Amino acid sequence: MTHNSPLSDDRFRVWIVFALMILMFGLLGAWLWHVQVLRGHEFRTSQVKQSVRRVRVPGTRGRIFDRSGLCLADNRPSFNVALYLEELRQPGKWSNTISRVEKLIAELSSVIRKPVEISREDIQAHVRKRLPLPLLAWHDIDNAALARLSEREAGRAGIDVIAEPVRFYPFKDLACHSIGYVGRANSAESAGEENEEYQFFLPEMEGKSGLEKVLDKQLRGVAGGRLMRVDVSGFHRDDVGQKEAQPGNDVMLAIDVKIQKLVEDALGDVPGAAVVVDPRNGDVLAMASSPGFDPNKFLPFISDADWEKLSTDEAKPLLNRVIGEHYAPGSIFKPITIMAALDAGKISEGTTFNCPGYFELGPVKFHCWFHPGHGTLDVQQSLQYSCNVFMMNSALLVGPQPIHDLAWQLGLGQRTHIELDGETPGICPDDAWKRKHFHDGWRNGDTCNMSIGQGFVSVTPLQMAVMAATIANGGSLYRPRLVVGSRAPGERSFTKSPPELVRQIQWSLDNLNLVRRGMYDVVMTPTGTGKLAHAPGVQMAGKTGTAQFEHHGEMKLHAWMISFAPFAEPRIAIAMVVEEGVSGGSTIAPRIKKVMSGIFPQAVETGNGASG
């Protein structure tokens, strides 16, 4: 019987162990190859995602200039007190760090003499969501607070002052409704640019109203980004990359600051609106709505008290009355009635009607505003004296549809498509409109009311300025525009855009000149209803209006006037309304005079200016 030697058994065991080791190393190598080679990219991507955070950095907002290069919306540095929670970390639970930060903020509050602006809950939220970023404890501190902080806390760990650009409106409330205002952007809406995923967002402004809102994408520019490496606790270790943000485009407006100031001063504090248009191209040289607001109050964010005051004010300071409110036009509508009747051949230069102070339509009497009556008037005199009776006679001869059609051609009842949102179309009524809204057909009484700008018709001040400009230039209706050019970063000059001619109205030159002469007499004769608008040395034309409206069961008046100058070669067309005024002649005409005198201070009157 044979037996294996102990030496043979040992060798066998060694080989078994060696084989197992080889197998284990082989399996380990295969697993490492699988992880590092086959799935290496997947794990590297996961590691980067866990250790690198993307921070969205907004671009500097583009500026807004008036037509002469004065800056209406700029950027200024805003100094914010920042705390770096990583440097203030306390041993133990996060609540210890939060308590330390809360205590530090209370200490700093007494140093800079500013009330605490953030709560413990704000600090907790910052720890959870934005730990690598600085916590902004105070925004936009003044120079005095900045000096006290620098003197007392310079070099203290965890405290810094960060400057960021914020919007600034150097002319305060001037042209506030046109320019608008900005506010904090919604971070979620800012995400997704170039399909990038951002974990953090630095504060950014976005337009909330006016041109700031409409042109927001152009003004805001292109955001950049920063790559920050953080550890497993979320602490910022270093920056590993950066993409520079691109500033937004600058914009040039048609607005002229000088004219804008004249118009706002003329309006004063009364609720109303005024707009000045260049008849040669549709440029809006001034747009004023009263009362207004200071857009600087919205920066870096508006206080609850200020917002409550603005949003609940019965005078509606946030409303742009130039485009967002519509009124009965009253007698400033009368040139449309006369032009429609003239072009239809129903009246002519020699047509006369007698005004006894009222117009009878069956059993109904429509009173002229001048109750004693104007007597016998021709076309030109009917505009000069603003006779209701002449208008009603003319309107019934021509019928309502030609009046409606001409009003529509002049832009009534439709938006002008100026570069602002919130524009109302007003109402340009006809039989179809009345049947739709009142389930009743058009009547002669409706025609009489429409002929004098009452009844269903309603307009915006901008629409009436466009109408005045179209009469002034001979029938060219331009789209009114606020924006005339833009400039990309790095460019020295603005790229200008051409004016847009919407339509050319084919008026008889003789008829147009007749209407223009009547409007000339409104201002330039001692008996015209708008004589108080005459600025010495300036040949002008215009039309006053006083429109009735009902408010809480009480009849009140809106005062209107349209005007253009110089008469022979118009460069200015204006429409102005004052809510609850006395009359166009007494309330608006002196204000128009103030504006025209400021625009044409060196005017020298030549001739009688009454030719078309």
482-528 pLDDT, tens digit each:
999 999 998 999 999 999 999 999 999 999 999 999 999 999 999 99
Same domain, 62 and 127: no
Kindly indicate the confidence band of residue 39, based on its pLDDT and cuts at 50, 70 and 90: low
Beta bridge partners of 476: 504
**Residues 270, 275, 277: CA angle, nearest 5 degrees:** 165
Structure tokens at 286: 């001034």
Counts for the chain of helices (H) and strands (E), in that order: 21, 24
pTM score, whole prediction:
0.84
Q: What is the DSSP letter of 194?
A: G
Kindly indicate the confidence band of residue 48, based on its pLDDT and cuts at 50, 70 and 90: very low
Is 382 a domain residue?
A: yes
Segment 365-382, tens digit of pLDDT: 999 999 999 999 999 999
Query: Residue 466 phi/psi, 5° resolution?
Result: -65, -40
Structure tokens at 295: 């857009």
Measured between its terminal Cα atoms, the distance across the chain in Å is 143
Could you say which of 253, 286, 311 is where a domain stops?
253
- Does position 192 have pLDDT exceeding 80, yes or no? no
Is 565 a domain residue?
A: yes
Query: What domain range includes position 236?
Result: 50-70+171-253
**Do 575 and 530 contact (CB within 8 A), yes or no?**
no
pLDDT at 350: 95
Is 536 a domain residue?
A: yes
pLDDT at 608: 40
pLDDT at 267: 97
Same domain, 383 and 532: yes
Residues 411 and 277: their CA atoms lie apart, in Å, by 15
pLDDT at 313: 94
Same domain, 519 and 558: yes
Structure tokens at 434: 């009345």
- Does position 37 have pLDDT exceeding 80, yes or no? no
Three-class SS of residue 230?
strand
- Does position 611 have pLDDT exceeding 80, yes or no? no
pLDDT at 327: 96
Kindly indicate the confidence band of residue 605, based on its pLDDT and cuts at 50, 70 and 90: very low
| Dihedral (Cα; 435, 436, 439, 442), 10-degree rounding | -20
Write the CATH number for 542: 3.40.710.10
Same domain, 121 and 180: no
pLDDT at 607: 39
Judged by average pLDDT, the poorest of 17-31, 309-323, 345-359, 572-586 is 17-31
Q: Average per-residue pLDDT in the chain?
A: 88
- Does position 587 have pLDDT exceeding 50, yes or no? yes
Question: CB-based burial of residue 190 (10 Å sphere; 0-12 exposed, 13-18 middle, 19+ buried)?
Answer: middle
Radius of gyration of the chain measured on its C-alpha atoms? 36
Q: Where are the alpha helices (DSSP H) in 327-421?
A: 334-343, 379-385, 388-398, 400-409
Same domain, 185 and 285: no
Structure tokens at 96: 């210890």
Judged by average pLDDT, the poorest of 25-29, 449-453, 598-602 is 25-29
Kindly indicate the confidence band of residue 612, based on its pLDDT and cuts at 50, 70 and 90: very low
Is 492 a domain residue?
A: no
Number of separate domains in the chain? 3
Most trustworthy range by pLDDT among 85-99, 240-254, 465-479, 550-564:
465-479
Same domain, 104 and 58: no
Beta bridge partners of 477: 503
Same domain, 282 and 380: yes
Of all residues in the chain, the percent with pLDDT exceeding 70 is 87
pLDDT at 3: 55
- Does position 336 have pLDDT exceeding 70, yes or no? yes
Q: What is the DSSP letter of 38?
A: I
Residues 265 and 592: their CA atoms lie apart, in Å, by 11
Q: What is the DSSP letter of 586?
A: I
Residues 353 and 112: their CA atoms lie apart, in Å, by 78
Three-class SS of residue 395?
helix
Same domain, 248 and 264: no
Same domain, 210 and 326: no
Residues 413 and 321: their CA atoms lie apart, in Å, by 16
Same domain, 182 and 128: no
Could you say which of 223, 238, 253 is where a domain stops?
253
Same domain, 568 and 467: yes
- Does position 604 have pLDDT exceeding 50, yes or no? no
Kindly indicate the confidence band of residue 603, based on its pLDDT and cuts at 50, 70 and 90: low
Judged by average pLDDT, the poorest of 227-231, 287-291, 395-399, 422-426 is 227-231
Is 420 a domain residue?
A: yes
Same domain, 375 and 454: yes
Where are the extended beta strands (E) located within 8-119?
Answer: 52-57, 64-65, 71-83
Of all residues in the chain, the percent with pLDDT exceeding 90 is 62
Closest to 100 measured CA to CA, from 183, 38, 25, 159: 159
